Amino acid sequence: MVRAMVLPQVRASLEPREVSLEEPKGFELRLRVAACGVCRTDLHVVDGELPQPRVPLVLGHEVIGTVEATGPDVTRFRPGDRVGVPWLAWTCGECAYCLTGRENLCDRAEFTGYTRNGGYAEEMIADSRYTLPAPPGMTPSAAAPLMCAGLIGYRALRLAGEARRIGFYGFGASAHLTVQPALARGQRVFAFTRPGDTDGQTFARELGAEWAGGSDQAPPEPLDAAILFAPVGALVPTALRAVSKGGTVVCAGIHMSDIPSFPYDLLWGERVVRSVANLTRRDGEEFLTLASRLKIRSVTEPYPLAQANEALAALREGRLHGAAVLIP
């Protein structure tokens, strides 16, 4: 039995409980959790915005932990290894998506902290085949947000193409990690925060954004691409107005409020609107290698595991600069 913060049902507060863990079998690992990031997707699960979560549920899919025990089929990791557990927990390996390098679209996929118990706990079980080596040289608290906020930001950045001028709408956990590889690629970053959030705009400029303002403002020059980290559908037409012809608007969230209707001339000119769906293991390997090479800086606010509800509230209310991380 291990201590965990459990979601008893959707739209409820997390409860401290003891949960049982079986010994790992097959390709499974039993991990002692060192840190678990608090992601906006966790809020979507709590609020019932993602369908049919497994409840009661242990949330958390930005996990850094130490291998305590391995199943008999595990060859990649040994007890004592430090590893990271991302959102993607398992795929079928048989469907057309899996067989063409698009396992992120697998219809039978399972997800950490959604269809499988996650890392808001002292220990957890994870599939070694979908587990990543933790980035060396980073503390568990600093490395945890890379497992989703960093990974999704990296995938969104790739899908934005070779934009010279790129706008980030919402500057929280994911954007503050994504701005660093964008700058390393020579891209110019323009940051958009909630209107009036001068602290957030200062934070964005400190991390290298060339310009920062409210999402109700136009950028000082047209953008080649925009990434929407904020799950606000009304920002889609806003971003389309900001990008030039041939530009791309990438919606990085797993859930977004409805997109309002907008005139066709905002889309005309071969502009593109596209979404990011989950991630692949290849994304994880590429991004963590890049994060180590660039020595990506992760800004975090630690919370004890028992204060998971407070961490979720701070995220919901926009009181975080960087990412909240739970420490068992």
Sequence spans of domains, the chain: 2-147+279-327, 151-275
Whether 34 contacts 139, CB under 8 Å: no
The helix or strand, by DSSP H or E, that contains position 211, with its residue range, turns out to be strand 211-214
- What gap in Å lies between CA 317 and CA 173, rounded to an integer? 14
In the numeric block, the tokens 């041939």 are attached to 246
**Superfamily in which the 151-275 domain is placed by CATH:** NAD(P)-binding Rossmann-like Domain (3.40.50.720)
With CA atoms as reference, report the closest residue to 179 among 170, 168, 169: 168
pLDDT digit string (tens) for 259-282? 999 999 999 999 999 999 999 999
Give residue 185's pLDDT.
95
- What gap in Å lies between CA 186 and CA 308, rounded to an integer? 37
Give residue 313's pLDDT.
98
| CATH numeric code, 2-147+279-327 | 3.90.180.10
Give residue 132's pLDDT.
98
With CA atoms as reference, report the closest residue to 132 among 115, 113, 112: 112
pLDDT digit string (tens) for 83-119? 999 999 999 999 999 999 999 999 999 999 999 999 9
Task: With a cut of 50, list the residues of the chain below it in pLDDT.
Answer: none
In the DSSP assignment, the letter for residue 162 is: S
With CA atoms as reference, report the closest residue to 241 among 210, 273, 208: 273
Give residue 204's pLDDT.
97
Secondary structure of 109-128 as H, E, C letters: CEEECCCECCCCECEEEEEH
User: Is residue 154 helix, strand or coil?
Assistant: helix
Exposed, middle or buried by CB within 10 Å (0-12, 13-18, 19+), for 258? exposed
Whether 294 contacts 177, CB under 8 Å: no
